[in-house]
Amino acid sequence: MSSDLITLAIPAKPEYVMIARLSSAAVATRIGFDVDQIEDIKMAVAEAIIMIINQLTRPEKLSISFILDPKVIGIEIFGEGDWESSNISTHDLGQAQLGKYILSSMMDSVKFDLDNGTIRAIFMHKDLGV
């Protein structure tokens, strides 16, 4: 059986991150994750989005794909907009570090798709673990 795919695209604006978070929770609920795991997935999606938004100088659109298998959720987050590898301040680096700690402890794997040192996409997955 092939995976089911759910895709969500939002404008890359802070006010819409909450929608990605709640949609992720709905997807995770459907797969059968428990309350704590759903919290983790919501948080991870939000942090991944924040990381990508912070790297774009002119954020436009965020695409989130959920790849669903019976006991695994795969999530791919991709940002569109302008970015430069040079514009990241130490402030943002501290911020990104917080995000990385959170991501790596909430998900079972996290991969960054780097382009010239800048994160363009983030892939992550979490097992249902039952």
Partner 1 sequence: MILDERFDSDTKMWYISLDGEIDIYNAPEFKEKLHQLIQQNPGDFILDCDSLNYIDSTGLGVLISALRRVKEYNGEIKIRNLKPYIYKIFVITGLDKIFTIEVGNREQ
Ligand X SMILES: Nc1ncnc2c1ncn2[C@@H]1O[C@H](COP(=O)(O)OP(=O)(O)O)[C@@H](O)[C@H]1O
Q: Which residues bind its own copies (CB under 8 A)?
A: 4-11, 13, 15-16, 18-19, 21-23, 25-27, 29-30
- Residues forming the site for ligand X (CB under 6 A): 91, 94-95, 97-98
Query: Left, alpha or beta for 106 (phi > 0: left; psi -120 to 50: alpha)?
Result: alpha
Residue closer to ligand X by CB (options 44, 73) is 44
User: Are the beta carbons of 80 and 11 closer than 8 angstroms?
Assistant: no
Q: Which does 71 bind (CB under 5 to 8 A by kind): partner 1, ligand X, its own copies, none?
A: none
Query: Left, alpha or beta for 32 (phi > 0: left; psi -120 to 50: alpha)?
Result: left
Residue closer to its own copies by CB (options 25, 88) is 25
Residue closer to partner 1 by CB (options 39, 127) is 39
Structure tokens at 52: 């990508």
Select from 6, 39, 72, 80 the one that contacts partner 1 (CB under 8 A).
39
Residue nearest to ligand X (CB): 94
Q: Give 81's strand partners.
A: 59
* Number of H-type helices and E-type strands within the chain: 3, 5
